[in-house]
Amino acid sequence: MKKPIIGVTPLFDDNRESIWMVSAYLNAIQCAGGIPVVLSLSDCEKEIEQIAQNFDGFLFTGGHDIHPSLYGEGKLPVCGKTCEYRDVFEKILFEKALERKKPILAICRGFQFMNAVLGGSLYQDFKSQAVLPIQLLHSQEKPYDAAAHSVKIYRDTPLYYIVKADEIGVNSIHHQAVKVLSDRLAPAAVAADGIIEAVYMPDEKFVLGVQWHPEFMYEKDEAAARLFESFVKTCHSLYKKVYK
């Protein structure tokens, strides 16, 4: 059986001025039956259009903070390092992939990026900007395959059909979060402190974002493994909603 080829957006090393990759992203895709390919960065729309056409699906990874200009704000001191070249590349790629109905899984930064590029906004640092009713651990130390807190999964969402649970434990390594949710997205999971932890695009076969890092949990956690399996299966069957 032909395996789907999945484009993986690269991370960027500022000091070395080079792209790099966390192997867990690639391993999780391979384990689920896909072939991951790390993409290069580009701002050439024609090149990115060809990428969007030729791959079966796309994984948008974690990494740099998103530059606030993408959601109409100035950069505050609490915002971390950004990579505007990567923002430009991923914006074009996301739009081209969406046009072609390609499956998209977005993780951490990728999840936040998806909300921003679709018209939502972010807390540049939710710990200093958001008033939360309780304090949860959102910046855990290693090991990253351990759960830091739980999230409630909304029923009748793609995520619920994938993980088949009302609540799951997740890891957490982030300081930015969804502030205003895009009107093109719907929430799929929320933490007890109110932080939105997963979203999806209604009426799309698979456009799903999660705030946590399932790539570090899939070997031990069934919900994380099912997420990658469902993504890869959708990439293989481009015109089927496998979560129904």
- Model confidence pLDDT, tens digit, residues 11-37: 999 999 899 999 999 999 999 999 999
Catalytic residue among 79, 83, 108, 235: 108
Q: pTM of the prediction?
A: 0.95
- The stretch 185-193 carries a mean pLDDT of 98
CATH class of 5-236: alpha beta
Q: Choose among 37, 60, 28: nearest CA to 224.
A: 28
**215 in catalytic set:** yes
Catalytic residue among 213, 229, 235, 236: 213
Catalytic residue among 149, 174, 197, 215: 215
What is the pLDDT confidence band of residue 128, given thresholds at 50, 70 and 90?
very high
The Cβ-side half-sphere exposure at 60, using a 13 Å CA radius, reads 34
Say which residue the tokens 């304090």 belong to: 135
Q: What integer pLDDT is reported at residue 238 of this predicted model? A: 61
pLDDT at position 239 over 90: no
